[in-house]
Amino acid sequence: MTAQLDSFYPTRVDFGTLDEIHRAAAAVLPAEVLDFVEGGAGKEITLRENLLAFDRWRILPTPMSGVGTPSTRTEFLGMPLQTPLLTAPFGGDALFHPDGHPAVARAAQARGALSVVPEAGSFSYQRVRAAAPRAARIAQVHPFGHAATVAARVARLGYEALCVTLDCPVGGFRTRNMANRFDPDQRHFAGNLTGEDGAPGVAEVFGQLLKRGGMVWDWSELAAAAAGFGLPWIAKGVLTPAAAERALAIGASALVVSNHGGRQVDPAPASLDMLPRIRAAVGPEIPILLDSGIRTGSDVYLALALGADAVVLGRAAIYGLAAAGESGVDRVLELLTEELRTLMILSGAATLAEIDATRITRAAA
């Protein structure tokens, strides 16, 4: 049994590139699980746009910049980052590797990144936090009736911020899962959805996500719950200036500009395309994370140049996890950081703050 597991879930790493890690993940995951990861909603226009949006920008080389040892350090809501990377909250992590989010968080901690720990993960907030307390500092929650209860529980566990997913009151129209009749074992999503201590059961939340027509919060309901969070909270799934302003008006401390990796509204605009407008609307001081489509260090660079303070890795982290558990995620974080550092040298940016719109240009039409 062990031997079989070892060969199915590799733990050795000699990956040269992020593409190799992606291919290794694709080779190891069962086809319908791979579709669950790779897939988007509808015609998958947004899924494709999220990647293409990065290809429309170019980074300007700066010869003789004198920058030899750039710093990739920053912070997010007072939490230090050695590299501007956070791993995304993704549910069902044990479907990708039995070590799941505890392994993701350990890898993040070793690289000085942060991990956003999902409510619908395979492991509890407590387990993931215990595995890597310097990375597992943000807990994600879906805005259903129990959000304030979750906030109190994760605060007791030592979490410092809550990430509220605004863009998933029901699951998107995920065509690949529908074609596959994808029906994963719900236990993989039940790390926190235990039905105990005020937490809903996994069947209840799955019902809400899948049935379309249940209870969906509005801003005033979120405002009322957020007043009782007792933790700073991050609004995840903001794609318009209007939504950004609404979230900030009811007390959000930071934003994740995101279209959920193309898994919700399709066709929605690429996150990167909406980022400059949102940054302009909220001003320079509000911390902004960007996700949806980050696959390389150049993607990280472009997101920072267009207004993000750091980026969130969904599929890139999942590929690392599936390919080789903790060490796979570690290698993903290393390769992204090293490419970013290389580009900072070549473009003459000594700090992340120096990566701004003057260092990039649109591709020729």
Ligand X SMILES: Cc1cc2nc3c(=O)[nH]c(=O)nc-3n(C[C@H](O)[C@H](O)[C@H](O)COP(=O)(O)O)c2cc1C
23 is in an annotated binding site: no
The site for ligand X (CB under 6 A) is made up of 36-37, 50, 88-91, 118, 120, 140, 165, 236, 258, 260-261, 291-294, 313-316, 318
Closest approach, Cβ 123 to ligand X, in A, equals 13
90 is in an annotated binding site: yes
Closest approach, Cβ 90 to ligand X, in A, equals 4
Closest approach, Cβ 255 to ligand X, in A, equals 13
Closest approach, Cβ 309 to ligand X, in A, equals 16
User: Whats the size of the chain, residue-wise?
Assistant: 365
Whether 207 contacts 214, CB under 8 Å: yes
Q: Is 188 a catalytic residue?
A: no
Nearer to ligand X, 83 or 165 (CB): 165
Report the alpha-carbon distance of residue 67 to residue 65 in Å, rounded: 5
Nearer to ligand X, 160 or 354 (CB): 160
293 is in an annotated binding site: yes
Nearer to ligand X, 170 or 345 (CB): 170
294 is in an annotated binding site: yes
Nearer to ligand X, 122 or 347 (CB): 122
Nearer to ligand X, 27 or 60 (CB): 27
Closest approach, Cβ 142 to ligand X, in A, equals 7
Closest approach, Cβ 272 to ligand X, in A, equals 11
76 is in an annotated binding site: no
Mind spelling out the 3-state secondary structure of the chain?
CHHHHHHHCCCCCCCCCHHHHHHHHHHHCCHHHHHHHHCCCCCCHHHHHHHHHHHCEEECCCCCCCCCCCCCCEEECCEEECCCEEECCCCCHHHCCCCHHHHHHHHHHHHCCEEEECCCCCCCHHHHHHHCCCCEEEEEECCCCCHHHHHHHHHHHCCCEEEEECCCCCCCCCHHHHHHCCCCCHHHHCCCCECCCCCCEHHHHHHHHHHCCCCCCCHHHHHHHHCCCCCCEEEEEECCHHHHHHHHHCCCCEEEECCHHHCCCCCCCCHHHHHHHHHHHHCCCCCEEECCCCCCHHHHHHHHHCCCCEEEECHHHHHHHHHHHHHHHHHHHHHHHHHHHHHHHHHCCCCHHHCCHHHEEECCC
Give the amino acid at 346: L
Nearer to ligand X, 70 or 118 (CB): 118
314 is in an annotated binding site: yes
Closest approach, Cβ 284 to ligand X, in A, equals 24
Report the alpha-carbon distance of residue 291 to residue 278 in Å, rounded: 14
Nearer to ligand X, 293 or 307 (CB): 293
291 is in an annotated binding site: yes
Question: Which residue in the list 97, 146, 188, 260 is annotated as catalytic?
Answer: 260
Whether 40 contacts 346, CB under 8 Å: no
Residue with the CB atom nearest ligand X in the bound state: 314
140 is in an annotated binding site: yes
295 is in an annotated binding site: yes
175 burial class (0-12, 13-18, 19+ CB within 10 angstroms)?
middle
Query: What is the sign, positive or negative, of the torsion defined by CA atoms of 18, 24, 29, 32?
Result: positive
Q: Which residues are annotated as a binding site?
A: 89-91, 140, 165, 174, 236, 258, 260, 263, 291-295, 314-315
Catalytic positions: 260
Could you list the residues known to form a binding site for FMN, using ranges: 89-91, 140, 165, 236, 258, 291-295, 314-315
